[in-house]
Amino acid sequence: MSDNFSNSSGISRRDFITSTGALGAAVLGGISPTVLAKTTAPIRIGNLNSFSKVFAALANSNLNGMKLYFDQIGNTIAGRKIEILREDDEINPQVGLQKLRKLHESDKCDIITGLQASNVAMAAVEYLRQSKAFMLCSGAGVAALSYTQLPYFFRCSVSTYTLHQAMGEWFYDNISKEVLLTASDFAGGRGSLAEFKAGFLPKGGKVIQEIYPPLGNNDFSSYLAAMRNANAPASFSFYAGTDAVRFVKQYDEFGLKQRSRLTGSGFMLDTDTLPAQGRSALGAINVLHYADTLDNAANKKFVADYRKKFNEYPNVYSEYGYVAGQVLHAAIQAVDGNTEDKDKLRAAMIAVRLAAPRGPFRFNAATQSPTQNVYLREVAEVEGRLTNKVIHTIPNVVEPVNKPY
């Protein structure tokens, strides 16, 4: 890969081709230079996320990661102070739209970040299209967001297609030719299983059964009984937050872990869930674009700084927020703090190259979602704590230009 990556603080302005033509034309046209003076008003960053219900811990981790990065740069970009406005979408599309409208129209945010719940993110698409609000999604991974053709919508988290399609292929080659699929019944869950099948089925894999408990489910016993009756050699699952904790613990308590190999999306088996899942998660194989054990300088610094500030290890959602801060710093610095010219800001975003905690990061210019490494991981005990060790790396995975399914 030919891209040159910068340090973890982002890229400098010299990485972009800038022009003084517009300024020159304005001066020649008699416009007062004071009109063109660089604004020193705060950069207003909206943070719309699911700060309540099943995703509450995820949203708080995401915001903590972004705040950590902004603290490290003095909460200032290009001479403008950073102001964060936080809103809770309650995992409710209608509430999310109301809060999104508030942040854009009433609060006059320069950029809006967040959106963890895929159902809320998809419901926001038409408003984003009509309003032309500038959005850096630091959460939702549903693949369909990459194909909305919104010029001012970027995503610095992940398109889960790149994760789960790769896992489907790897699963067929290394785990089993047959699988039972299960996920929470919402857009992100169903989409993730469709992505897994996109890698698994073309190789000749067989899906024995698909099971979709409701989001926010407490008791999985009836679903686990169906899984036991299916007698699959292995399962692939997508759960997050408290659902992930309950599912993995009950999977083990029901005796399925010994009968059907537990594998899943990395969102089900990460730092936010592993302490509560305990040894029920040991040995589970999963896929993600980040692990807190990654051996690179940017990640070592991020983990150390995060632990110092919050007295806990970061999770993937923390890293989402941290990378959001890196991306905004790089892009806004490149346009000298001018967030009014959305086309220039968009060009600056596309040009961002980072050495992020997760590894090399850049945007796919066609989809405006990340191109980055994908890691196959195994839950293990490392230095006395449960975490994920990387067992295989797929470098610089590029999302398809056209919607894959």
Q: Is residue 2 part of a domain?
A: no
Residue 356 is predicted with a pLDDT of 98
The answer on 284 and 208 residing in a single domain is yes
* Tally of CA atoms within 13 A in the half-sphere of 127 that contains its CB: 19
Name the pLDDT band for 26 (thresholds 50, 70, 90).
Answer: very low
- pLDDT tens sequence across 43-62: 999 999 999 988 898 999 99
Give yes or no for residue 31 having a pLDDT over 90: no
Residue 24 is predicted with a pLDDT of 35
Give yes or no for residue 13 having a pLDDT over 70: no
The answer on 201 and 103 residing in a single domain is no
- pLDDT tens sequence across 82-110: 999 999 999 999 999 999 999 999 999 99
The answer on 380 and 248 residing in a single domain is yes
Q: What is the mean pLDDT of residues 146-158?
A: 96
The answer on 249 and 170 residing in a single domain is yes
Q: Is residue 249 part of a domain?
A: yes
- pLDDT tens sequence across 246-264: 999 999 999 999 999 999 9
Between the CA atoms of 65, 71, 77 and 81, what dihedral angle is there, to the nearest 10 degrees?
Answer: 110
DSSP state of 2: -
Phi, psi (deg, nearest 5) at residue 123:
-70, -20
In angstroms, rounded to a whole number, what is the distance separating the alpha carbons of residues 210 and 187?
Answer: 15
Residue 403 is predicted with a pLDDT of 85
Residue 118 is predicted with a pLDDT of 87
Phi, psi (deg, nearest 5) at residue 241:
60, -140
The answer on 205 and 118 residing in a single domain is no
In angstroms, rounded to a whole number, what is the distance separating the alpha carbons of residues 367 and 325?
Answer: 20
Count up the domains in the chain and report the number. Answer: 2
Task: Say which residue, 2 or 125, is predicted with more confidence.
Answer: 125
Q: What is the CATH number of the domain that holds 104?
A: 3.40.50.2300
Q: Which has the minimum average pLDDT: 97-101, 183-187, 321-325, 335-339?
A: 183-187
Q: What is the mean pLDDT of residues 37-47?
A: 91
Name the pLDDT band for 38 (thresholds 50, 70, 90).
Answer: confident
Give yes or no for residue 326 having a pLDDT over 60: yes
Q: Which domain holds residue 337?
A: 40-158+294-368
The answer on 260 and 351 residing in a single domain is no
Q: Give the total residue count for the chain.
A: 405
Q: Is residue 10 part of a domain?
A: no
Q: Is residue 21 part of a domain?
A: no
Task: Say which residue, 54 or 386, is predicted with more confidence.
Answer: 386
The answer on 254 and 312 residing in a single domain is no
Task: Say which residue, 144 or 179, is predicted with more confidence.
Answer: 179
In angstroms, rounded to a whole number, what is the distance separating the alpha carbons of residues 56 and 33?
Answer: 47
The answer on 187 and 232 residing in a single domain is yes
- pLDDT tens sequence across 263-274: 999 999 998 899
Share of the chain above pLDDT 90, in %: 83
Name the pLDDT band for 360 (thresholds 50, 70, 90).
Answer: very high
CA distances (Å), 179 to each of 168, 200, 208, 233, 264, in order?
A: 10, 9, 6, 7, 11
Secondary structure tally for the chain: helices H, strands E: 14, 15
Residue 12 is predicted with a pLDDT of 40
Residue 335 is predicted with a pLDDT of 98
The answer on 132 and 75 residing in a single domain is yes
Q: Is residue 25 part of a domain?
A: no
Mean predicted lDDT score pLDDT of the chain: 91
Q: What is the mean pLDDT of residues 111-129?
A: 95
User: 134: which 2 tokens?
Assistant: 């500038």
In angstroms, rounded to a whole number, what is the distance separating the alpha carbons of residues 114 and 117?
Answer: 9
Give yes or no for residue 1 having a pLDDT over 90: no
Q: Is residue 5 part of a domain?
A: no
Q: What is the mean pLDDT of residues 112-133?
A: 95
- Indicate if the alpha-carbon torsion angle 296, 299, 303, 306 is positive or negative: positive
Secondary structure of residue 60 in the 3-state scheme: helix
Q: Is residue 1 part of a domain?
A: no
The answer on 210 and 150 residing in a single domain is no
- pLDDT tens sequence across 275-324: 999 999 999 999 999 999 999 999 999 999 999 999 999 999 999 999 99
Q: Are 314 and 65 in contact (CB under 8 A)?
A: yes
Sheet holding 135-137, edge to edge: 76-77, 80-88, 43-49, 111-114, 135-137, 153-155
Q: Are 287 and 265 in contact (CB under 8 A)?
A: yes
In angstroms, rounded to a whole number, what is the distance separating the alpha carbons of residues 55 and 322?
Answer: 18
- pLDDT tens sequence across 188-241: 889 899 999 999 999 999 999 999 999 999 999 999 999 999 999 999 999 988
Residues in contact with 385: Cβ distance below 8 Å, sequence separation at least 6, in sequence order: 313
Name the pLDDT band for 37 (thresholds 50, 70, 90).
Answer: low
Count other Cβ atoms within 10 Å, centred on residue 97. Answer: 17
Q: Is residue 244 part of a domain?
A: yes
Residue 23 is predicted with a pLDDT of 34
Which amino acid appears at position 279 of this protein? R
Count other Cβ atoms within 10 Å, centred on residue 127. Answer: 15
Residues in contact with 311: Cβ distance below 8 Å, sequence separation at least 6, in sequence order: none
Residues in contact with 393: Cβ distance below 8 Å, sequence separation at least 6, in sequence order: 373, 374, 375, 376
The answer on 307 and 182 residing in a single domain is no
The answer on 212 and 299 residing in a single domain is no
